[in-house]
Amino acid sequence: MNFIEDLKYRGLIYDMTDEALLDALENQKLTFYLGADPTADSLHVGHLVAYLTAKRLIDHGHKAILLIGGATGLIGDPRGSSERELLSVEKSLSNAKAISEQVKKMFDFDLVNNYDWISKINVVDFLRDYGKCFNVNYMLNKETVQKRLESGISYTEFSYQILQALDFEYLYKTKGVTLQIGGQDQWGNITSGIELIRKHHGFEAKAYGFTFPLVTKADGTKFGKSEGGTLWLDANKTTPYEFYQYWINTADQDVLRFLKQFTFLSKEEIENVMAEFEKAPHERLAQKVLAEKITTLVHGKEAYESVLRISSALFSGNIEQLSAEEIDMGFKNAPSITAVEDMNILDALVSSQLASSKREAREFVGSGAVSVNGQKVTSIDFIITKENALYNKFSVIKRGKKKYSLVRH
């Protein structure tokens, strides 16, 4: 299977500006760029297909440049039905720095920030050198603009496509970039850049655009959202355990597509995984492989192994085997209470929502359904103390097989 066939197998080709690009991707060494606006201080899983596609291009011999939109992030790509909230210069540059550091840990990209050149262009030069190259009717026909015409769009966001086109032309001129890649929603911005390159450098100038499909879930729910909200790549915003849990809970009807798009397993390896999975779907082998690969890529092998320890401890009840950091991570979203003094087990069960009343709490203790830090509680007079807490910080209460709460001392 050649490179293009592999991209097609993974469902990563949505559209291309020129059929000649297929041959160029297969047989030439191109310099391409991928853009990311710093609207937050971390990327999220919705960005991953873009970066993994870029990594596939790198592995085939192409050179990647990641453009952080320190300037375009101040404007905002028109999306949805309303204007984006404008960032301050300080916040945009701070976010840009955070994203740059995040990307460096995972991928071998050259990094640039478009604030470095866009901030030096005055308004007269912008209108004469760039605005003059764009017909308003052409700009109005862009899909992202069309979606906003009914609800209204400011000139600020309307001009975004000119700024992104300016980026492509600048990188073409200064770094030999001939290809921009992005999600299917970036098609209009990419083609605007190609038009600008041709107007500045002649129609024979070779520049290409390549888009991949936006990731969706088979059940219609939004990809990259969990019960806690957005699934970030920053471990301080979404813990490695939460990240792993998202992938391990992938629906059966999505897992093959996600293995293709989010891992670097070969076609043969994916087919072998799916063959084993189909023999015993309840064992969720495909989801386990997917979760392992993507968690290791984003957070590293050590974090992945820590996640497995947490999962094992939650299943077995052997919480005492976990480090303090692992307890904090594993029980981040569990019901929790803060104890400033010793607590009776019945009060703790009710306060942490593991029992609706003291009467119910007594029944749970009496039936042997309650444990604290892995030790079964047999008396309703049991006292939870800081002295007996794990690391003098945590008391983990378990009710039944899967219900947990955390007492923080």
DSSP secondary structure of 267-309: HHHHHHHHHHHHH-GGG-HHHHHHHHHHHHHHH-HHHHHHHHH
Q: What is the pLDDT of residue 225?
A: 64
Ranges of residues in the chain whose predicted pLDDT is under 70: 79-83, 225-228
Q: What is the pLDDT of residue 145?
A: 83
Angle subtended by helix axes 187-201 and 160-175, to nearest 10 = 50
Query: What SS3 state is found at 77?
Result: coil
Q: Residue 211 is encoded by which pair of tokens?
A: 């888009």
Q: What is the pLDDT of residue 81?
A: 61
Q: How far is CA 223 from CA 124, 363, 391, in A?
A: 42, 41, 37
Q: Which amino acid is at 328?
A: D
Residue 248: CB atoms within 10 Å: 16
Q: Residue 194 is encoded by which pair of tokens?
A: 């190609």
Q: What is the pLDDT of residue 228?
A: 64
Which of these, 197, 204, 194, lies nearest to 17 by C-alpha position? 194
Residue 297's Cβ-count burial label (10 Å; 0-12, 13-18, 19+) is: buried
136-177 pLDDT tens trace: 888 888 777 888 877 788 888 888 889 999 999 999 999 999
Q: What is the pLDDT of residue 57?
A: 96
Task: Give the integer Cα–Cα distance in Å for 297 and 106.
Answer: 7
Q: Look up the pTM and report it.
A: 0.86
Query: What SS3 state is found at 16?
Result: strand
Q: What is the pLDDT of residue 40?
A: 87
Task: Give the integer Cα–Cα distance in Å for 377 and 399.
Answer: 10
Residue 238's Cβ-count burial label (10 Å; 0-12, 13-18, 19+) is: buried
Q: What b-and-e string marks burial along 309-343, b requiring 16 or more CB atoms within 10 Å of the CB?
A: bbbebbeebebeebeeebbbbbbeebebbebeeeb
Residue found under tokens 């299917």: 184
Residues in the chain: 409
Give the CA dihedral 340, 343, 347, 350, nearest 10 degrees: 60
208-212 and 15-16: which strand pairing? antiparallel
* CA angle (186, 71, 98) in 5-degree steps: 90
Which of these, 322, 157, 310, lies nearest to 244 by C-alpha position? 310
Q: What b-and-e string marks burial along 371-409, b requiring 16 or more CB atoms within 10 Å of the CB?
A: bbbbeebeebebebebeebbeeebbbbbbeeebbbbbeb
Residue 344's Cβ-count burial label (10 Å; 0-12, 13-18, 19+) is: middle
Residue found under tokens 């970066």: 51
Q: What is the pLDDT of residue 183?
A: 92
Query: What SS3 state is found at 244?
Result: helix
Contacts of the segment 195-201: beta carbons below 8 A, 24+ positions apart = 195/133, 195/134, 195/138, 195/165, 196/130, 196/133, 196/134, 196/165, 196/166, 196/168, 196/169, 197/168, 197/169, 197/172, 199/133, 200/133, 200/169, 200/173, 201/169, 201/172, 201/173
